[in-house]
Structure 1
Amino acid sequence: MAENRLQRLRALLAADRSGSARSTVSLACERCVVELGVSGAGATVLSRLGGADGDGQTSRGLVHATNEVSAGLEDLQLTVGEGPCLDAFASGGPVLVSDLAAATARWPGFGPAACELGAAAVFSFPLQIGVVQLGSLDLYRDTPGPLTRAELTDALILGDLATEGVVADLDGHGVDDLSWLADPHVEVHQAAGMVQTQLRSSTEVALIRLRGYAYTHNLTLAEVARQVVARTLLFTEDGR
C-alpha cells in the first residue's frame, strides 16, 4: 500500500515538474496542500552553529513557503527559537499538534503568536537521511483537526521526496552551509558574527541577543539582522 502511494506521489511530482524550473522541494510543499487538506506548507534547511557535538545553536534558512502564513510561521520560529520545526529537528520524529490553541503552553513564545497568524493546527516532519538531519517540512491548518492515517502516510512520503530535493540542492555544499539559499535568513548568520564580535561573546549569546531585540521590538529576526549588517544597529556589552 505504501509503495503504491509512493509511486503515485512520485508520478504526481514528476508531472508537476514537467516544463517547470521549480525545485522538487517547492513542488512537494505545494503537493502537500493539494493532497493533505492543509492550508499551507513550508520547508527549511537547518544546521547547528557552535560545537560539533550537537549542542550548538540551530540555524535555518527558508527553502519554500506556499503562502505568507507559512513563511510567517517559519520566521516566527526562527525569531523565538522554539516551535514544531525545531522539535522535529531535535527529535528526528514528526511533531503533530491538531489543536494549537490548546497547546500554547508547549511553546509560550511560538504558540500564541502562531494562532494570531492564523494557524490552528501544525505538523512538522524531519527531513533526514539516516542520522543526517537536513531540515523540516512544516504544515499548518487554519482549522483544528488531526491528519488522517492516509494523510499522515502521504505527508511522510512527501517529506522523503522533499528530502531528495534538498539533497539535490545541497550538491557541492556541506550540510552546515546555507549560502546556496536565496533567503534573507542567511543574513542572520552574518549578523550573528558581527554581534559576536561586538559583544565578545559566543555565537549562541549573540543569537539570543538578536532574538531578544527582535521579540521586544516586534520585528522579525531577518529585519534585525539587516539593521546589524547595515550598521544602523549596534549591540554593546552593557546596553542594547
Structure 2
Amino acid sequence: MVESRRQRMQALLAADRAARPASSVILACERCVVELSVSGAGATVLSRLANGAAPPSRGLVHATDAVSAGLEDLQLTVGEGPCLDAFESGGPVLIADLAAESARWPAFTRSACELGAAAVFSFPLQIGVVRLGSLDLYRDAAGPLTRLELADALILSDLAAQGVVADLDGHSAEDGSWLADPHEEVHQATGMVQVQLGSSTETALMRLRGYAFAHDLQLVEVARQVVGRSLRFTDAEDGNNAQ
C-alpha cells in the first residue's frame, strides 16, 4: 500500500510540474495542502555547525501562505518549536492541539496560536542519516492527521528532501550559501551585538531573541534596527535606542 501511495504522489507531483514548472520542494508543500487537509505548509533548510554549540542556521525554502511563513520566522525568533524538535530528533512531531503545548514551547505556543495555528505537524527532511531541514504543516482547527494523511505526509517529506538535495546542486548539506537566506540581516545583527557586548555569538543571538519577544517584534525587524543603527545593545538588561 505504501508503495502504491508513493507512486500516486510521484504521479501527482509530475502532473503539477508539467502544469507549472517549479522546484520539487515547492510542489510538495502545495500538494500537502491539497492532500492532507492542512491550512498551510512550509519547508525550511537547517544546518548545524560542526561543534553543535550554536542553534541551527536556517533558510526558508517555501511557504504556502503568510501564516506558514510567520510560523517559520517565529521559531527562529524564540528558538523553539516543532520544526527544531523534528530536526533534532529525526522523527515527526505531531501536535493535534497546539494550545495544550504551552509547557513544552511556552514562547512559541502563544504566538503561534495568535497567528492562527491550532495544530502543527513537522517532519524532518532527511536523506539517510543526513538531516537537511523540516517540512512543517499547520491547521487552523485542532485535530490529528488521519492514518492515511500521516502516511502521505511521510511520503511527501521524503520527496521534498530529495528536492532539497537536487537544489543543493553540488553544495554540501552543511553549506547554506546556495539558499537565499531571508534572515541574512539576523546574522549581520548578531555579529554587531556580539561586538557591542563583547559576548559569544550564542549570547548575542539570545539577546536579540529576547528583545524581539519582549517587544512583540519579529526577529528580522529587530535585526534591521540593529543593522540600521537605530538600536544598540549594552550591558543593560535590554537594548537601548541609539541617538
The TM-score normalised by the length of structure 1 is 0.94
What residue in structure 2 maps to residue 139 of structure 1?
A: 137
1:192-231 equivalences under 5 Å are 192-231=190-229
Stretches of 4+ aligned residues off by more than 4 angstroms = none
- Among 85, 88, 97, the residue aligned to 2:86: 88
Residues 200-233 of structure 1: per-residue CA shift (max 9 Å, x gap): 2211111101101111111101111222222332
What residue in structure 2 maps to residue 121 of structure 1?
A: 119
- Matched AA of 1:209: R
Q: Verify the 8 A CA contact 1:128 1:134 in the aligned structure 2.
A: yes
Identity among equivalent pairs (%): 75
What residue in structure 2 maps to residue 4 of structure 1?
A: 4
SS across alignment from 1:147 = coil
Where does structure 2 lack aligned partners over 5 or more consecutive residues? none
What residue in structure 1 maps to residue 38 of structure 2?
A: 38
Residues matched between the structures, number: 238
Q: CA deviation at 1:61?
A: 1.3
Q: For residues 107 and 29 of structure 1, what CA distance do their matches in structure 2 show?
A: 24
Residues 137-186 of structure 1: per-residue CA shift (max 9 Å, x gap): 00001111111111001000000111011111122333333333334223
Q: For residues 92 and 68 of structure 1, what CA distance do their matches in structure 2 show?
A: 26
RMSD: 1.5
- Matched AA of 2:28: A
Where does structure 1 lack aligned partners over 5 or more consecutive residues? none
Q: Verify the 8 A CA contact 1:119 1:141 in the aligned structure 2.
A: yes
What residue in structure 1 maps to residue 232 of structure 2?
A: 234
Residues 1-40 of structure 1: per-residue CA shift (max 9 Å, x gap): 1111111111111111115342111110000000001010
Q: Verify the 8 A CA contact 2:127 2:162 in the aligned structure 1.
A: no
Q: For residues 214 and 92 of structure 2, what CA distance do their matches in structure 1 show?
A: 31
Q: Verify the 8 A CA contact 1:123 1:140 in the aligned structure 2.
A: yes
Q: Verify the 8 A CA contact 1:179 1:186 in the aligned structure 2.
A: no
Q: CA deviation at 1:53?
A: 3.4
SS across alignment from 2:136 = strand
1:14-93 equivalences under 5 Å are 14-18=14-18, 20-49=20-49, 52-93=50-91
Q: For residues 54 and 118 of structure 1, what CA distance do their matches in structure 2 show?
A: 33
Q: For residues 214 and 8 of structure 2, what CA distance do their matches in structure 1 show?
A: 47
The TM-score normalised by the length of structure 2 is 0.92
Q: For residues 89 and 53 of structure 2, what CA distance do their matches in structure 1 show?
A: 13
Q: For residues 199 and 170 of structure 2, what CA distance do their matches in structure 1 show?
A: 31
What residue in structure 1 maps to residue 177 of structure 2?
A: 179
- Among 95, 98, 103, the residue aligned to 1:97: 95
Greater shift in the superposed pair: 185-194 or 67-76:
185-194
Q: For residues 130 and 89 of structure 1, what CA distance do their matches in structure 2 show?
A: 14
Q: For residues 160 and 12 of structure 2, what CA distance do their matches in structure 1 show?
A: 13
Q: CA deviation at 1:117?
A: 0.9
- Matched AA of 1:37: S
SS across alignment from 1:105 = coil
Distance 1:18 1:188, change over 3 A: same
Q: CA deviation at 1:187?
A: 2.4
